[in-house]
Amino acid sequence: MKVAVFSTQSYDKQYFNLVNEDFDHEFIFLEPALNADTAILASGCRGVCVFVNDKVDAKTLEILHQNGTDTIVLRCAGFNQVDLDSAKGLGINVYRVPSYSPEAVAEHAVAMMMTLNRKTHKAYNRVREGNFSLERLIGFNLNGKTVGILGLGQIGLAFAKIMQGFGCKVIAYDPVVANAPANVTLVNLDTLMTTADMISIHCPLNDHTHHLINQNRFEQMKRGVMLINTSRGAILDTHAAIEALKQGKLGYLGIDVYEQEDKLFFRDLSESLIEDEQILRLMSFSNVLITAHQGFFTTEALTEIAQTTLQNLDAAESGQSTGNKLT
């Protein structure tokens, strides 16, 4: 299948071409993100491959459909960027990668947690400058603390397993999960908010979870709570988070995702003027750690993403049934 790959980075080319040695697809790698203005670039391509910040709305889908596209494959698990109803109405098949090494994202969440707690990023910079002082680097033991998990899917479960190894009490909220593994206690959302010393977000973005963490939720939390988000940016109300940081209610914030990341992430802006005032404000806090959506970024995950995406293309060509199909 001839496939236009939008939002292409060097590693996309590397892993897709490597895995494609066992398949027979033709890729056109495109750096721009997909939207209504760039959809014409996929003209003549039966397939289109998109990532987290591509905008596959009704207008974009109509343009793709008019120019011969009948298959969209997502190289990610989340699909909030796709208008599935419009795709279905146009007869466009949509596939995703539902799981691509949940441990990769879970481990990154833990890395952010440990960095914020023990301030290893600050210690690294100090020592390189010849400053061996321990002042203002004090952390806390994870052992014995209560960690709350929002979303008990595969990534949430992998995160829970790691935190149990630290000796944490693990509680979780997930409205669609009836049973949890041993040592994970399912609670309601209010209980999680008021009980947890640390909260890690691992739920999908949808109408129910948009700004799930907002001013009211921050008011419920313990003072000095740590919040980690490696899921989707819009689950967290950024303005409310900034206010909670200013008030000292939020003691630590680690985000690998951001509401307006499509204008920032996956590009080098080191010599550009960043006009996003909210991200600049977040970057000004010493107790905030921001990474640019790299939770998935491991060899194992990239290989699995490419492998599953190409299998989805094969399934679309042959009309085979697969659990990865959304429409």
Catalytic machinery residues: 232, 261, 293
In whole angstroms, what is the distance from residue 103 CA to residue 125 CA?
28
Bridge-based pairing state of the strands 250-255 and 288-290: parallel
Phi and psi torsions of 71, nearest 5°: -140, 130
In whole angstroms, what is the distance from residue 300 CA to residue 236 CA?
28
| CB neighbours of residue 235 within 10 Å | 23
In whole angstroms, what is the distance from residue 243 CA to residue 165 CA?
33
By C-alpha distance, which of 166, 235, 176, 245 is closest to 200?
Answer: 235
